[in-house]
A and B are shown apart, each in its own frame.
Chain A
Amino acid sequence: KNEVEQSPQNLTAQEGEFITINCSYSVGISALHWLQQHPGGGIVSLFMLSSGKKKHGRLIATINIQEKHSSLHITASHPRDSAVYICAVRPWGGATNKLIFGTGTLLAVQP
């Protein structure tokens, strides 16, 4: 079982729909990242959070530390949101600074 699991693996939505991508993890963490990877391959950090909720434009990320779960929401989705969304966690403790990645959610938003 992976330490970081995302669902769904693939998601197709119509433009304007509200989208939710989920991430569950099994280790104690100091932070959770949501990353976006466009078809061209570049990776962009969207959010880094350790509690509560963060919002940036149409994107909202939430985390529930007790339940070891995070969600990424996209409101009023647009075709340019089509990308792979990756959840990554930074395990708590020790001197390590490394991330453990989920396998990603491929989102396609159709016009």
Chain B
Amino acid sequence: DAGVIQSPRHEVTEMGQEVTLRCKPISGHNSLFWYRQTMMRGLELLIYFNNNVPIDDSGMPEDRFSAKMPNASFSTLKIQPSEPRDSAVYFCASSLGTRARGLLGTQPQHFGDGTRLSIL
């Protein structure tokens, strides 16, 4: 089975440029998560989708960040304009989520290999 697929694996770009990170979740999973990992703050949730709908975007740092999930098999995280402090590893994860009480949140998340982003 293919896992969560992220692209690109590495991205180096200059400050001010637009950056687009891509994620393909595991087929059949209906929850998708975008995380950012830095040395200072560890792993942080940026946004998560359930059935393609953004449920919680409280972790999105500012308006320069946006995320979309146009269909069940694809999501993007966009940074425009990018800044050096956005340099981090960005992970996408997916899981089979359900809103049924008692089962909510009891499915493991499967992580992609991450995108290592460097903004110069």
Provide the A78-104 mask, 1 if CB < 8 A to any CB of B, else 0: 000000001010100001111101111
Q: Given the complex of chains A and B, what is the CA–CA distance between A33 and B43 in angstroms?
A: 13
Name which residue of chain A comes closest to B107, CB basis: A48
Instruction: State how many residues of chain B have any CB contact under 8 Å with chain A.
Output: 28
Instruction: State how many residues of chain A have any CB contact under 8 Å with chain B.
Output: 23
> For window 14-37 of chain B, which residues contact chain A by CB distance below 8 Å?
31, 33
Q: B66 in the interface, Cβ–Cβ < 8 Å?
A: no
Whether the pair A97, B105 counts as a contact (CB closer than 8 A) is: yes
* Also in contact, A95 and B111, with CB within 8 A (given A30-B105, A90-B105): no
Provide the A18-41 mask, 1 if CB < 8 A to any CB of B, else 0: 000000000000110101000001
Interface residues of A (CB under 8 A from B): 30-31, 33, 35, 41-45, 48, 50, 86, 88, 90, 95-99, 101-104
